[in-house]
Structure formats: C-alpha cells, structure tokens
Structure 1
C-alpha cells in the first residue's frame, strides 16, 4: 500500500512544484479553499497523518504551505513502517488501515484539486484509482454526514473509475476555474 502513497506523493508534489505565485489566489474544486489555503490544509493533513502513523500526538494545526513537500515525504516515511497499520487510531476511532486510506485520499483528491485549479495534468494509476473508488464508496455516506465530502456529483454512465470516485466525493470531474 505504501507504493500507492509514494506514487500519490510524487504526483502531488509535482503539481505543487508547478504552481506559480500568481496562481495562489485561484479557486479550487474544493470550494472552501483557494490554492494557497488548500496547500496549507494539505500541509497540515500530511503532518497529522505522519503523527497518526507513528502513534504520536497530533501536532497543533499548522497550515504552512512552505512545509508541504517535506511533510508529505515524512508522511510517506511514517507509513512505510508496517506497525503504522496496526490497531485503531485513538483520535479518529478508525482502524489504522482506514486512516491510511484517508491520508492517501487527501493526497489524491487534493492533488487533483490543485492540478485542476492551476491547469496541470493529474494522472492516477489504476491501482490507486481502484483503491480510492472502493474507499470513497464505503466512506461517502458518513463523510457527507460529517461535512468531509460534498453532495454526490452525478457522472455519466460508464464514466472512468477516477471520475466516479471524484463524483462520489462531491467533486465535479469537469470542474474548471
């Protein structure tokens, strides 16, 4: 599973490196965040997910976008330890395998958000797409109830799996700035 996380990290970091300063104020498909705020959110999520994987206290919220790349790499390193997948997260009350999927989902979906907002490509491999589709299908009702996902966006019958996953997560696969 860590290979999927590593690939997602590489893709998302590639997008982050391609963001220009003049794009930081652009809207994203994640309506509550512009590009700068989404970078900060993802930076803190990566730090939180690394701490959870190591069974350490979650650091205080710190949405420093400049730390994002380092924090994503640390997150990947933390989940490389097989012990990270053991047990349940006291903070979240989920099995650690689900916490891992949450972190992977944040990298993949927010990586797509950032790419879409800044006019970059974002291709996800078939293995990660399938894992994310299964995860989102299972978590969508609870995630919507808790305000983590938006309302489902209908996608055409026969849409590719990644677009179906985006729609289930409340994203419009055809979103444009």
Structure 2
C-alpha cells in the first residue's frame, strides 16, 4: 500500500511544482478552495496524516503551502512502517488502515483537483484508481453526512474506476476551470 502512497506523492508533488504564482487565485473542483487555499489545506493534511501514522498528537492547523512537498514526503515516510497500520486512531476512532486510505485519498483527489485547476495532467495508476473507487464506495455515505464529500455526480457505470471514484466524492471528472 505504501507504494501507492509513494506514487501518489510523486504525482502530486510534480503537479505542485508546476503551479505558477499567477494561478493561485484560480478556482478548483473543490468549490470552497482556490489553488492557494487548497495548497495550504493539502500541506496541513499531509502533516496531519504523518502525525497519525506516527501515533503522535494532532498538530496545530498550519496551512503553509511552501512546506507541502516536505510534508508529503514526511507523510510517505510515516506510513512506510508496518506499525502505522496497526490498531485504531484515537483521534478518529477508525482502524489505521482506513485512516491510511483517507490520507491517500486526500493526496490523490486534491492532487487531481490542483492539476485540473492549473491545466496539468494527473494520471492515476490502475491499482490506485481501483483502491480509491472501493474506498470511496464504502466511505461515501458517512463522508457526505460529515460534509467531506459533495453530492454524488453521476458517472456512467462503465467509466474508468477513477472517474467513478471522483463522481462519488462529488467531483465532475470533466471539470474545467
């Protein structure tokens, strides 16, 4: 599973490196975030999921976009140890395997969001796409109830796995700025 996280981290960091300062105010598929705000959010999310993997206390919210790449690498390192997947998160009362999927999902979906917003490609390998589809199918009702996912966007049943996962999170796979 950590290979999936590493690949997602590499893809997302590549997208982040390709974002120009003049693109910071562009809208993203996450309507509550522009590019700058989403970069900051994703930076803090990476810091949070690293702390969760290491079974450390929740860090204070720190939406520092310049720290994003370092934090994503820290997140990958945190999840590279088998003990990260053991037990339940006291912070979220969920199995650590589910917490991992949540972190992977944040990295993948927000990486895609940033790529779409800035006109970049974001290819998801088949294994990650299928893992995200399964995860989102299982979590969508609870995530929608908690305001994490938007209303489902209809996507054909024969669409690629990642497009179906996007639709379940409330994202339109055909979204353009």
TM > 0.5 between the two? Answer: yes
Q: Distance in 1 between matches of 2:157 and 2:131?
A: 20
TM-score norm. by structure 2 comes to 0.99
Aligned to 2:13, the other structure's residue is in SS state helix
Does residue 69 of structure 2 align to residue 69 of structure 1? yes
Distance 2:21 2:141 in 1: 37
1:127 is matched with 127
Q: What CA distance in whole angstroms lies between the structure 1 residues aligned with 2:70 and 2:88?
A: 26
Structure 2 counterpart of 1:99: 99
Segments of 4+ moved more than 6 angstroms: none
Match of 1:151 in 2: 151
Give 1:110's aligned residue.
110
Q: Could you tell me how far 1:155 is from its partner in structure 2? A: 1.1
Structure 1 residue 158, shift from structure 2 partner: 1.3
- Shift, 1:86, TM fit: 0.3
CA RMSD of aligned residues (A): 0.5
Please name the residue that 1:34 is paired with: 34
Give the deviation of 1:62 after TM superposition. Answer: 0.1
Q: Tell me the alpha carbon deviations over residues 105-140 of structure 1, each in whole angstroms, 9 at most, x when there is no partner.
A: 000000000000000000000000111000000000
SS in 2 for 1:105: helix
The equivalent residue for 1:46 is: 46
Aligned residues: 177
Post-superposition shift, 1:156? 2.5
1:138 maps to 138
Correspondence for 1:82? 82
Post-superposition offset of 1:175: 0.5
> Where does structure 2 lack aligned partners over 5 or more consecutive residues?
none
Instruction: Find the residue that maps to 1:61 and give its secondary structure.
Output: coil
Distance 2:83 2:42 in 1: 24
- Mapped partners of 1:81, 1:111: distance in 2: 24
Offset at residue 37 of structure 1 (A): 0.2
**Partners in 2 of 1:48 and 1:20 — Cα distance?**
26
> In the TM superposition, what is the alpha-carbon distance from 1:157 to its structure 2 partner?
3.6
SS of equivalent to 2:3? helix
User: 2:157 touches 2:164 (CA, 8 Å); kept in 1?
Assistant: no
Residue 4 of structure 2 is matched in structure 1 by 4
